[in-house]
Amino acid sequence: MANSSKDDKNKNAGLALGAIIILYSIYLTALNLINITTIWNFGIIQYAKNIVHIHADNYIKLTRNFDVYDGQLSIEDTENQANIKYKLKSGQIVKYKGYSGTSNISYIAIQFFEESKKVSGYILLPKPKKWDFFELENEENFWYNIKIDNFKNSLRNKYLHEVKSKIKFQTESNSLKAEKLIQSKEFQSEYRVIDDPDYYTIPKVGILYIPNNDYPLLKEIYGNYFGKDIEVDFLQLSK
């Protein structure tokens, strides 16, 4: 009986994992279907391949220099210096947008920023690339995965450190006292309740508030960190 119960648990766990994989595959397929910008940036063939490959965008950090081309050129054409649109150095972060290839080579679709301009193109991987299961694998001597979430967390920590040093945050954890403050006209004239968790960590019980005069500064500091496209800064970290 014990073995039977254990087998049932393993079976249920396997079914749950299978269901998650199927649902995530459907989700990625839907994303690739509606992402028609792939057609404008890389062409209809890459768009179709991304659907077939169940493509998921990733960020990679290059570990060698690469030449960037407008399309999937022949080997002979890649040897023509006139066809090189950009040169990327080892250490640069780019966004992986899909791949195509043969049994010998692979063309990797990427996006990166040249100053403030987003650039789309292909780099040539001198080896066949195997299909990735949802997440791009590291390619030894060519690139490794890098997470934008780590950059966002670092940015968040810097932001919190700055606002803590410049703005006087106060809390009232007693629910009745908190509500009394909110209802007070005197309180409203001097303080502002912060209920947006993007600005600061909101207490589970009670209120968080700051002087009214500090609110414009809070918005300004937040805008300095998060009022622009974080991906632009992330993709230019290595420059």
Check residues 110 and 18 and name the one with the higher pLDDT.
110
Sign of CA dihedral 184, 188, 192, 195: positive
Residue 6 lies in a domain: no
Residues 112 and 179 in one domain: no
Residue 1 lies in a domain: no
Residue 101 lies in a domain: yes
Percent of the chain beyond pLDDT 70?
91
3-state secondary structure of 81: helix
Residues 59 and 142 in one domain: yes
pLDDT for 69 equals: 97
- For 171-214, write each residue's pLDDT tens digit: 999 999 999 999 999 999 999 999 999 999 888 899 999 999 99
- For 98-154, write each residue's pLDDT tens digit: 999 899 999 999 999 987 789 999 999 999 887 776 667 788 889 999 999 999 999
Count of structural domains within the chain: 2
Question: Which range of residues forms the domain containing residue 116?
Answer: 55-146
CA distances from 224 to 14, 73, 163, 218 (A): 46, 41, 12, 10
Q: Where does a domain end: 113, 146, 179?
A: 146
pLDDT for 239 equals: 59
CA distances from 57 to 18, 31, 125 (A): 22, 10, 18
Residue 197 lies in a domain: yes
Instruction: Give the C-alpha separation, 127 to 103, whole Å.
Output: 8
